[in-house]
Chain A
């Protein structure tokens, strides 16, 4: 029975980590749009390439934040959460 419970915890953590990374879609689309627009802008005005690139990198980094939140949660779910949850389970059972 205990093995089953621990198995459910591990599986749930892995599934949760995978589901959390769905958030990677958002920054991907957003950064793609940003880079596309930056390419257009550079094509129209090649002389302001430096400024456009700097601003684009800034925007990309800010747009990446939500994806990184998801990543942090996924990493926590994989490397930290299973141990904690198993500890909680053991305490609840009283072992």
Chain B
């Protein structure tokens, strides 16, 4: 019995630590947001600036929010995997197994057997992106609507792509630009750099456009309701009736559907680009050649 109590206590600690992050963000946002009556669409707030010799490093809302997302995901994972055993006792173990199995199957299906180890990376990108976009549900600034966040992930993916292109040696890498005809090399180089740019802009544009359109619709509804209900007497005329409920419908699309879809698409494109960059056939040939050489040496 005592054991069970301890177990419950640890559970509650994990959940509290998880919820502490968003609460901290809300408090921070309330403290730092300058008071203004008119609705404005602005970028991330700068919380404070770290003085560095080369240039100042501003700690913005984007950074703090993404750190908190990481923190919350960590404790969520701790909670989900708490008390897992061979004989399933808790429902949450099924959730954890479902997540792991789904990502493994997704990675295996899209990238092939060579990249099975990529499942944690893909799951991390997907989870970070999805939970970052979902921060809008509690009125916080989503880190993904800042080009710096998605740009950083895209650069990471770009490095991975280049790494796997280098798998067959630098000569093969340079040769791959002259494909299919050598004089198309400039276009190939441009498309090489267009990949991370388009990935970053796709995710950032979707999330940002969602929040901008939501704000615009909310302002328009406010104006419309003051036009229609403004003649009502007293305080009743000040209540924007049309703003109740209608923006929530938009939020279902822009915040939940669009955010989750973009997370899925970012992870999917990551997988496809990395798997596409890896010259599987040539790599297999090279490996076979090396093995043959070794066998010949041993025979001699």
B205 at the binding interface (Cβ < 8 Å): yes
- Count of chain A residues with a beta carbon within 8 Å of a chain B beta carbon: 12
Q: Compute how far the CA of A72 lies from the CA of B41 in the bound complex, rounded to whole angstroms.
A: 14
A68 lies within 8 A of B202 (CB): yes
B173 at the binding interface (Cβ < 8 Å): no
Query: Which residue of A57, A62, A68 contacts B201 across the interface (Cβ within 8 Å)?
Result: A68
B265 at the binding interface (Cβ < 8 Å): yes
Given A57-B261, A58-B268, A61-B261, A69-B201 contact (CB < 8 Å): yes
One of B96-104, B116-124, B206-214 contacting the partner: B206-214
A52 at the binding interface (Cβ < 8 Å): no
Given A58-B268, A61-B202, A68-B209 contact (CB < 8 Å): yes
A72 lies within 8 A of B268 (CB): no
A57 lies within 8 A of B208 (CB): no
Q: Which among B41, B198, B202, B212 has the highest number of chain A CB atoms within 10 Å?
A: B202
A39 at the binding interface (Cβ < 8 Å): no
Report the nearest A residue to B272, measured CB to CB. A58
Query: Which residue of A65, A71, A75 contacts B198 across the interface (Cβ within 8 Å)?
Result: A65
Q: Compute how far the CA of A61 lies from the CA of B208 in the bound complex, rounded to whole angstroms.
A: 15
B262 at the binding interface (Cβ < 8 Å): yes
A31 at the binding interface (Cβ < 8 Å): no
Chain A, interface SS category: helix
Kindly provide the distance from the CB of B276 to the nearest chain A CB, expressed in whole angstroms.
13
Q: Compute how far the CA of A19 lies from the CA of B202 in the bound complex, rounded to whole angstroms.
A: 20
Q: What does the 1/0 interface line of B175-199 toward A look like (CB < 8 Å)? A: 0000000000000000000000010
Q: What does the 1/0 interface line of A36-73 toward B look like (CB < 8 Å)? A: 00000000000000000000011001101100110110
Q: Compute how far the CA of A69 lies from the CA of B269 in the bound complex, rounded to whole angstroms.
A: 18
Kindly provide the distance from the CB of A81 to the nearest chain B CB, expressed in whole angstroms.
14
B262 lies within 8 A of A72 (CB): no
Residues in B whose Cβ lies below 8 Å from that of A72: 201, 204-205, 208
State which residues 16-63 of B face A: CB under 8 Å: 41
Kindly provide the distance from the CB of B172 to the nearest chain A CB, expressed in whole angstroms.
27
Q: Compute how far the CA of A62 lies from the CA of B201 in the bound complex, rounded to whole angstroms.
A: 11
A79 lies within 8 A of B41 (CB): yes
Kindly provide the distance from the CB of A55 to the nearest chain B CB, expressed in whole angstroms.
10
Report the nearest A residue to B265, measured CB to CB. A61
B265 lies within 8 A of A57 (CB): yes
Residues in B whose Cβ lies below 8 Å from that of A79: 41
Q: Compute how far the CA of A62 lies from the CA of B268 in the bound complex, rounded to whole angstroms.
A: 11
B205 lies within 8 A of A69 (CB): yes
A68 lies within 8 A of B261 (CB): no
Report the nearest A residue to B204, measured CB to CB. A72
Residues in B whose Cβ lies below 8 Å from that of A65: 198, 201-202
Q: What does the 1/0 interface line of B210-253 toward A look like (CB < 8 Å)? A: 00100000000000000000000000000000000000000000
27 CB < 8 A contacts A-B: A57-B261, A57-B265, A58-B265, A58-B268, A61-B202, A61-B261, A61-B262, A61-B265, A62-B202, A62-B269, A64-B202, A64-B206, A68-B202, A68-B205, A68-B206, A68-B209, A69-B201, A69-B205, A71-B205, A71-B209, A72-B201, A72-B205, A72-B208, A75-B208, A75-B209, A75-B212, A79-B41
